[in-house]
Amino acid sequence: MLRFFAKYKFFGIVMLVLSAIIITIIYNVYTIDDEKTLPIYQPHDVTAQLVDTTVQHVKKYHKIANFSLTNQNGETITQDDYKDKIYVADFFFTTCQTICPIMTDHMVNIQEKVKNDPEIMLLSHTVTPEIDTVAQLKKYAQEKGVDDTKWNLVTGNKKQIYDLARKSYLAAKDTPYTEYDLIHTENFVLVDKKKRIRGFYDGTDPKAIEELMTDIKVLKKER
């Protein structure tokens, strides 16, 4: 018996060490996930170039303003459609040939990953509503494979959309800012169930999209 234990002593020690390492890794992974929290972004926290001067001073209580826009099916979309939802918002236009196609493809990937999760939705605002009519948005949605139950592409009053971009989502830049001139960014904006901004992500960067998906899981754990 002693010879048996002596023969397999080294093997036993190796297995013990490996088991300890695996247990430590698993513990750390779950501990990190449980402890991670997302910031709540205020206009004061964001570079001034992306924030309208009327809200740059705001340091707390910032929320996405109420809105009333029209989606690809001609339906009126308001905050009520996103009540108790976590959602990802962005700004785009259907005739864009630079960053928008990449952003849309990444939004399609997000849609695929959350298609069975009723807590998560998507919202894309056109910045050229004079071009992106309901019919145009519908055509674009069909071409891209948009799921109408998960993702609204919205058009509407231009000033309202621009105000949302600069005063609510903090996702556009221009010099100077006017009612009829706006340059949208590549940012995807993560919004929680209380209409607060919880993250900004480069919609053209696959690694940023992975980070976004991780942060959605973190946000779902909040109570």
Annotated binding site: 96, 100, 184
Q: How far is CA 33 from CA 24, 192, 193, 196, 212, in A?
A: 14, 18, 20, 21, 14
Residue labelled with tokens 């754990």: 221
Locate 90 and state its tokens. 């962005």
> Exposed, middle or buried, 130 (CB in 10 Å: 0-12/13-18/19+)?
exposed
- Residues annotated within a binding site for Cu cation: 96, 100, 184
Q: Are 165 and 179 in contact (CB under 8 A)?
A: no
**CA nearest neighbour of 127 among 101, 86, 96:** 96
Relative to beta strand 172-178, strand 68-70 is: unpaired
Helix, strand or coil, per DSSP, at residue 223: coil
Among residues 87, 119, 150, the alpha carbon closest in space to that of 79 is found at 87
Question: Contact 119/219 with Cβ under 8 angstroms?
Answer: no
